[in-house]
Amino acid sequence: MRLTEEQQLLRDAVRVLADEKIAPRAAEIDRTATWPDDVRRLLASHDIFAIPFEERHGGLGSDLLTLCLAIEQISRVCATSGLILAVQALGAIPIQVAGTVEQQDRWLPGLASGEMLIAFALTEADAGSDPSGIRTRAVRDGDDYVINGTKRFISHGSVADSVVVFAATNPDAEKASRRLSAILVETDRPGFKVTRVEHKMGIRGSPTAELAFDNVRVPVANRLGDEGQGFAIAMKTFERSRPGIAAQAVGIAQGALEVAAAYAKERRQFGKPIAELQMIQSMLADMDAATEAARQLLYAACEAIESGNGDAARWAAICKLVAGDAAMRVTTDAVQVLGGYGYIDEYPVERMMRDAKITQLYEGTQQIQRLIVARSLLAGS
């Protein structure tokens, strides 16, 4: 697939920045499990947050593929840093797809500049793959909603300035898919609290928080779309956000492949570099093939989703499914190529293997992706 000149230029600029400014920070971000606000500022000052936003909001007006190219390049060296862009997009998409012009003008410029961070809060302790179990309530009181409940596993939840919360406004609606509404909650509102930040296996610099809403009062004007549209907005959001996770996965795989190939050329056993051993060559070739296949699928998915061909949910699911599995396999094999050195934190592949795992879990597990693909395949006549 041929990228446009603009896409190539932006990709290459992000790659240089990632290699020279972010890569040297990756190991420390992982080891200390601290939010890299310096990376956020770097992405902001180079307009990288601006990629998926319209020019009237201070964005670059670029397409989904361009955003994915940036996420891929950053994730190649640091999955936590790549995720910063993906989470910002995840939180912004509900505003882009369901917000009024007034809401967009109010909230999107701060997100495009990277001065404001946003999070997406759907998951709860008992409601992940099945959002019909969501218990967080938003009760109408005059011109406000009063929100009560707890959200779990919310990326950037503890650093975001606002959170798109999916809460039940119509708990008695017959269809489970009509019970939720999407409401933007500024995190400085009274009653909003970060109650826990998780200790994770990977993406350790990315804060994953538990958020408590204790009578949080929000104007009705903060609701995105109509009452009861929350589930539809969330699904629409995933159609454009899952490719970002696929891009993160492709980036992680590419990073691991590059480390493994370079190591194989240096490491000598049996009197020659292990890269000359066919068993190593075979692994490297399979890693390259899996990574490239996932990448090309991702790029094709972005084009298909952007074209609005009506099959977006399937494309988004397929590209995340394939890329996430590829990243897990490629990073595991990268550790194998490095042998004992792959298992210690002197080399980045053990980190990449830990980081890869999350791409099979969040924004819908791989099992949910398969469900979506099968449903699309078997629907209709």
Partner 1 sequence: MRIVVLTKPVPDPAAGAERLGPDNRLDRAASPTVVNGNDEYALEAALQLVEAHGGEVVILTMAPANGTETMRKALAMGAARGIHVTDDALAGADLPTTIRVLAAAAGQEAFDLLLGGLDTSDGAGGAVTAGVAARLGLPLLSTAAHIEPDPAAGRVRVRRLSAKGYDIVEAPMPAVISCTQALGAPRYPSLKGIMAARSRPIAAHSLADLGDGLAPADGAWATRVVAAEPPTARAAGRTVTGSATDAAREIADFLADRRLI
Q: Which of these segments, 13-21, 103-111, 275-283, 356-364, binds partner 1 (CB under 8 A)?
A: 13-21
CA torsion sign for 53, 59, 65, 67 is: negative
Instruction: Give me 341's structure tokens.
Output: 């050195």
Contact code string over 273-312 relative to partner 1, x by CB under 8 A: ----------------------------------------
Q: Rule CB under 8 A: say whether 13 interacts with partner 1.
A: yes
87 burial (CB, 10 Å; 0-12 / 13-18 / 19+) is: buried
| Choices 8-16, 199-207, 215-223, 312-320 (CB under 8 A): range interacting with partner 1 | 8-16
Select 20 or 286, whichever has its Cβ closest to partner 1: 20
Q: Which of the residues 60 through 99 are near partner 1 (CB under 8 A)?
A: 60
Q: Where does this chain touch partner 1 (CB under 8 A) — which range of 6-14, 130-138, 223-231, 353-361?
A: 6-14
Nearer to partner 1, 51 or 119 (CB): 51
Structure-token pair, residue 188: 């400085």
Q: Is 72 a catalytic residue?
A: no
Show Cβ contacts of residue 28 under 8 Å, excluding neighbours closer than 6 positions.
Answer: none
Segment 16 to 55, residues that bind partner 1, using CB under 8 A: 16-17, 20-21, 45-48, 50-51
In the bound state with partner 1, the residue whose beta carbon lies nearer, of 1 and 16, is: 16
Stretch that binds partner 1, among 15-23, 170-178, 220-228, 281-289 (CB under 8 A): 15-23
User: What is the C-alpha separation between 101 and 50, in angstroms, rounded?
Assistant: 18
The structure tokens listed for 206 are 């990315």
SS3 of 268, please?
strand
Catalytic residue among 210, 227, 239, 363: 363
Both structure tokens of 378: 């078997």
Rounded-to-integer distance, Cα 119 and Cα 141, Å:
25
CB 63 within 8 A of CB 241: no
Say whether residue 10 binds partner 1 (CB under 8 A): yes
Question: CB of 6: closest distance to partner 1 in angstroms?
Answer: 7
Tokens, residue 207: 């804060």
Q: In whole angstroms, what is the distance from residue 313 CA to residue 320 CA? A: 11
In whole angstroms, how close is the CB of 114 to partner 1 at the nearest point? 12
Q: Which two tokens stand for residue 17?
A: 């920045």
Angstrom distance (rounded) from CA 280 to CA 274: 7
Q: Which residues bind partner 1 (CB under 8 A)?
A: 6, 9-10, 13-14, 16-17, 20-21, 45-48, 50-51, 60
Active-site residue set:
363
